[in-house]
Amino acid sequence: MRRPMRVLVIGAGVYVTGRGTDGLGTVLPALAEASRTLSVESVTVAATRAENREVVERVTRSINEILGTNLRTAYVSFTEAISMASAEHAFDCAIVVVPDDKHYEIGSRLLAAGLHILMVKPLAPSVADARRLETLRDDRNLYGVVEFHKRWDESNLAVRRLLEDDCLGRLAYIDVEYSQRRTVPIEHFRAWAARSNIFQYLAVHYVDLIYFLTGFSPVRAMGVGTSGILRAMGIETWDSIHALVEWRSPSDPTRTLLSGFSTNWIDPRATTAMSDQKYRIVGEAGRIDCDQKNRGLELTTELRGSEVLNPYFSQFLSRPGSGQRFAGYGFQSFLSFLQDVQSIVRNEACPGDFAATRPTFRQALVSTAVVEAVNRSLESRGEWRAIDAEG
Ligand X SMILES: NC(=O)c1ccc[n+]([C@@H]2O[C@H](COP(=O)([O-])OP(=O)(O)OC[C@H]3O[C@@H](n4cnc5c(N)ncnc54)[C@H](O)[C@@H]3O)[C@@H](O)[C@H]2O)c1
Interface ranges with ligand X (CB under 6 A): 10-16, 47-49, 78, 97-100, 102, 106, 120-121, 189, 191, 201
Q: In this structure, what DSSP letter does residue 4 have? A: P
CA dist., res. 289 & res. 159, Å (int): 10
Question: 193 near 328, Cβ under 8 Å?
Answer: no
Q: Which of 237, 285, 280 is nearest to 259 (CA)?
A: 280
- CB of 378 vs ligand X, minimal distance in Å: 18
- Between 107 and 218, name the residue whose CB sits nearer to ligand X: 107
> Residue 126 corresponds to which amino acid?
S
Question: Please, which residue, 156 or 281, has the CB nearer to ligand X?
Answer: 156
Strand pairing report for 275-283 and 171-181: antiparallel
CB nearer to ligand X: give 168 or 369: 369
Least distance from ligand X to the Cβ atom of residue 101, Å = 9
User: What residue type is 248 in one-letter code?
Assistant: R
Pairing outcome for strands 240-248 and 217-226? antiparallel
From the CB of 21, what's the least distance to ligand X, in Å?
Answer: 9
The angle that helices 27-34 and 52-67 make with each other, rounded to 10 degrees, is 40
- Nearest CB to ligand X, comparing residues 49 and 89: 49
180/240 with CB nearer ligand X: 180
**Minimum distance between the CB of residue 31 and ligand X, rounded to whole angstroms?**
14
Nearer to ligand X by Cβ, of 199 and 201: the residue is 201
The alpha carbon of residue 3 and the mean position of all alpha carbons in its chain are separated, in whole angstroms, by: 29
Query: What residues contact residue 4 under an 8 Å CB cut-off, 6+ apart?
Result: 39, 40, 41
Nearest CB to ligand X, comparing residues 15 and 329? 15
CB of 278 to ligand X, least distance (A): 18
* CA-atom Rg of the chain in angstroms: 21
CB of 52 to ligand X, least distance (A): 6
Kind of pairing between the strands at 240-248 and 256-267: antiparallel
CB 83 to ligand X: min, Å = 14
State how far the Cα of 124 lies from the Cα of 138, in Å rounded to an integer. 16
